[in-house]
Amino acid sequence: MLPYMILCGLFYLSAVTESSVLTQDTGVISATVWDNVTLHCFYDSQVAMHFSWYRQTLGEGPQGLFTIYKYDKSPNVSHWSEKNPRFSVDMKEGTNHLHISNVQLSDSASYFCGISHSHKIEFGEGVFLSVKEVNHKEIIQEPSSETIRPGGSVMFNCTVQTVTCGGERRVYWFRHGSRQGIVQTHVDQSKHIPMAQSPSQSCAYHFQKMNLSSSDAGTYYCAVASCGEILFGSGSKLLIKDDAEDPMAQIQIFVWLSITRFGILLLFLAICLLVYISKRW
């Protein structure tokens, strides 16, 4: 009886472990300076014991914010978070939310929540927090979506409407949900496009990917860093569509398969007929 109970307990623990789920806000969340922002994180696990939040600014490595043990009354705060009391966590059963009060331009970064259980560590996909000034500049990203066949190429465009393009600018291109993170960085490679009858001008940036494959599919964002501010584009969704996924191509394949099957059937009937005739003679 005891071995049976142990096996049942191990099976239950394994089932609980495999069913654990971690979800958080994804994509880009925009906020204005002095706003209060809450980044949501939900988990569904009965064996998770440690919870954490990390942030990663563009071009830098991940930085720990909080580590929470399930039965501790207060989280383990990092040295950076001690100097930034605007950051806090709201920890309840099934939730681990990060709250940022009076957001600043320097808070623009990627934020990841994580849990650990049964010697495993899981992280969410991450969310990009874009903090803008009250009178922020306008950024336009094109195309909004593009469907390309394998082996083809695509060009993404990012245009910033601003009064001046002076000073150093850094432009980052990254794919959401990619472990690779930033896929390309530009420094002072803008093309200035004067606007007629307007004191403002546009700074245009481009990113091209060639010889595309299915692994390149996803949503690409541009981020322009200048004068302590980071502007995020709305994202460009890239779809890689093979000919096999084309309805017309599928119909053609079906027709050729039908013809092939019919030919094989005729060949089989002809062989059977020849065998039959040879036996009759």
Q: What is the CATH number of the domain that holds 109?
A: 2.60.40.10
Domain containing 204: what range?
138-240
Nearest alpha-carbon partner for 30 in 207, 218, 235:
235
Decide if 187 is inside a domain: yes
Same domain as 118, residue 26? yes
- 206 CB neighbour count, 10 Å cutoff: 16
pLDDT at 166: 54
| Dist CA 54 CA 79 (whole Å) | 13
The Cα–Cα gap between 172 and 169 comes to 10
Average pLDDT, the chain: 78
Taking residues 106-131, what's their average pLDDT? 88
- Both 65 and 115 in one domain: the answer is yes
Tokens linked to 103: 């957001």
- Quick one: which H or E segment has residue 3? helix 2-18
Q: Is residue 8 part of a domain?
A: no
> Does the residue 11 lie in any domain?
no
pLDDT of 16 > 70? The answer is no
Residue 277 lies in a domain: no
Categorize the per-residue pLDDT at 77 as very low, low, confident or very high, splitting at 50, 70 and 90: confident
Q: Would you state the pLDDT for residue 159?
A: 87
Distance of CA 191 to the CA centre of its chain: 28
SS3 category, 83: helix
Report the SS3 class of residue 133.
coil
Tell whether 236 and 213 lie within a shared domain: yes
Beta strands 109-117; 50-56: pairing state: antiparallel
For the chain, how many structural domains are there in total? 2
Looking at the structure, do residues 57 and 155 belong to the same domain, yes or no? no
Q: What is the pLDDT of residue 260?
A: 86
Q: Tokens 């009858």: give the residue.
A: 197
Domain end among 92, 117, 132: 132
- DSSP designation for 190: -
Model confidence at 248: pLDDT above 80 = no
pLDDT score, position 54: 94
